[in-house]
């Protein structure tokens, strides 16, 4: 089979290799679509602590495909079934796993990080992942491309649950990349009446405009964000602020543009060395703000996201703006890193 193999920082090679062999407790997936995530780009540029130097890895964790082989001990799955494979695999027996928060397992494994992922023609699902329920069937109405996007959507769903957007509320999303768009979509469904999307790249704002998910588009480089948000909210500030980026100053600004009783989702993590951010905590105190963090998603968040994406309430198709084959994996990475379009996705030859 063909695979895009990560050898180390800025070193990805397209290689022919043997199809993975499965044992009686495993499943083999024929990958149909695997989207490129910001995490893939970060690994490509800076490496990852779960990939020791000298190790090779197939990246890609936003995975949709078809079951190609099923181990003889595996019950409930059949060849040909269409599935997604959420990346975070819990141990199954720690406190977080028992509560259903597999993404918070301290002993987690992850496809595309600690295990081989989806930038290949086939991917093995190890027994632990089969047992923990990381192979989830999808309905016929959902294309493989849309299904692959259910993973990033589920991360936004996790954030949405934490801020608990109510009908009639205003939402500011800072960062109009694919993740920002997915936040906008889920908040719209939750009933937000004014979704404001902020970026510094005009072409991105244009893409978002074309999708039609934002009510207000703001380029924060040419316009003062705080002034505009106050204008758009009768001087009250936004009920929900989501920081879909990794800029410390944006976390500071988020507190300023939030309304009284506002909820702030610090969605984007900070890069190493920038994690200490000075915040005006009086804003949290006097405005009774809720500042929440979320990371990744649980299997339940993925299941909810599949339901939404398969319904007529959400159309994920326009989020994909760049399609590539495995041979062009490097181009896909460059496209995703450039910020030019929205989501880059690697699709199989026969999709």
**Nearest distance from C-beta of residue 131 to Zn ion, angstroms:** 12
* Closer residue to Zn ion, CB minimum distance, 107 or 202: 107
* Closer residue to Zn ion, CB minimum distance, 23 or 99: 99
**Nearest distance from C-beta of residue 40 to Zn ion, angstroms:** 7
Distance of alpha carbon 212 from alpha carbon 181, whole angstroms = 10
* Closer residue to Zn ion, CB minimum distance, 148 or 225: 148
In the block, which residue shows the tokens 């695999």? Answer: 89
CA distances from 313 to 210, 310, 316 (A): 18, 8, 10
* Closer residue to Zn ion, CB minimum distance, 105 or 258: 105
**Nearest distance from C-beta of residue 171 to Zn ion, angstroms:** 22
What character string, x for contact with Zn ion (CB under 5 A) and - otherwise, covers 27-66? ----------x-x---------------------------
Q: Does 180 bind Zn ion (CB under 5 A)?
A: no
**Residues in region 104-163 near Zn ion by CB under 5 A:** 105
Interface stretch with Zn ion, choices 82-90, 261-269, 287-295, 331-339 (CB under 5 A)? 82-90
* Closer residue to Zn ion, CB minimum distance, 34 or 258: 34
* Closer residue to Zn ion, CB minimum distance, 91 or 201: 91
**Residues in region 195-254 near Zn ion by CB under 5 A:** none
* Closer residue to Zn ion, CB minimum distance, 170 or 267: 267
Q: Which two tokens stand for residue 319?
A: 């989020």
CB 14 within 8 A of CB 2: yes
**Nearest distance from C-beta of residue 102 to Zn ion, angstroms:** 7
Q: Which of 60, 86, 90, 180 is close enough to bind Zn ion by CB under 5 A?
A: 90
**Nearest distance from C-beta of residue 296 to Zn ion, angstroms:** 8
**Nearest distance from C-beta of residue 217 to Zn ion, angstroms:** 25
Closest to 297 (Cα-Cα) out of 336, 267, 263: 267
* Closer residue to Zn ion, CB minimum distance, 168 or 271: 271
Interface stretch with Zn ion, choices 94-102, 239-247, 250-258, 342-350 (CB under 5 A)? 94-102
Q: Is 115 left (phi over 0), alpha (psi -120 to 50) or beta?
A: beta
Interface stretch with Zn ion, choices 84-92, 137-145, 189-197, 244-252 (CB under 5 A)? 84-92
Distance of alpha carbon 294 from alpha carbon 7, whole angstroms = 30
Distance of alpha carbon 263 from alpha carbon 288, whole angstroms = 9
* Closer residue to Zn ion, CB minimum distance, 68 or 336: 336
Helix pair 38-46, 329-338: axis angle to 10 deg: 100
Q: Does 303 bind Zn ion (CB under 5 A)?
A: no
Q: Does 97 bind Zn ion (CB under 5 A)?
A: yes
Q: Which of 1, 14, 91, 162 is close enough to bind Zn ion by CB under 5 A?
A: 91
Distance of alpha carbon 271 from alpha carbon 268, whole angstroms = 9
CB 163 within 8 A of CB 242: yes
Q: Footprint of Zn ion on this chain (CB under 5 A)?
A: 37, 39, 90-91, 94, 97, 105
């Amino acid at each position: 089979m063909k695979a895009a193999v990560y050898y180390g920082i800025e070193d990805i090679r397209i290689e022919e290799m043997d199809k993975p062999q499965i044992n009686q407790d495993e499943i083999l997936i024929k990958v149909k679509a695997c989207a490129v995530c910001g995490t893939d780009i970060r690994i490509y540029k800076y490496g990852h602590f779960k990939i020791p130097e000298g190790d090779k890895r197939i990246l890609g964790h936003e995975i949709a495909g078809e079951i190609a082989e099923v181990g003889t001990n595996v019950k409930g799955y059949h060849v040909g079934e269409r599935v997604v494979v959420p990346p975070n695999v819990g141990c199954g027996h720690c406190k977080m796993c028992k509560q259903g928060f597999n993404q918070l397992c301290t002993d987690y494994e992850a496809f595309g990080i600690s295990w081989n992922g989806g930038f290949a023609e086939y991917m093995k699902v190890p027994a632990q992942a089969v047992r923990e329920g990381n192979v989830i069937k999808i309905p016929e109405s959902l294309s493989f491309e849309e299904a692959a996007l259910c993973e990033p959507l589920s991360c936004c769903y996790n954030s949405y649950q934490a801020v608990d957007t109510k009908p009639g509320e205003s939402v500011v999303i800072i960062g109009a990349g694919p993740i920002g768009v997915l936040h906008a979509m889920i908040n719209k469904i939750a009933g937000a009446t004014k979704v404001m999307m902020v970026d510094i790249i005009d072409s991105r704002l244009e893409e978002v405009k074309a999708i039609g998910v934002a009510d207000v588009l703001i380029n924060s480089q040419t316009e003062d964000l705080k002034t505009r948000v106050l204008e758009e909210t009768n001087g009250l500030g936004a009920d929900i602020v989501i920081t879909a980026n990794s800029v410390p100053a944006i976390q500071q600004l988020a507190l300023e543009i939030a309304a009284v009783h506002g909820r702030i989702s610090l969605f984007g993590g900070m890069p190493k060395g920038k994690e200490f951010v000075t915040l005006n905590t009086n804003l949290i105190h006097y405005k009774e703000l809720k500042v929440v963090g979320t990371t990744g998603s649980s299997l339940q968040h993925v299941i909810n996201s599949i339901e939404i994406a398969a319904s007529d309430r959400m159309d994920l198709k326009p989020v994909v703006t760049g399609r590539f084959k495995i041979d062009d994996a490097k181009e896909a990475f460059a496209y995703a890193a450039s910020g030019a379009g929205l989501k880059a996705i690697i699709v199989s030859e026969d999709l």
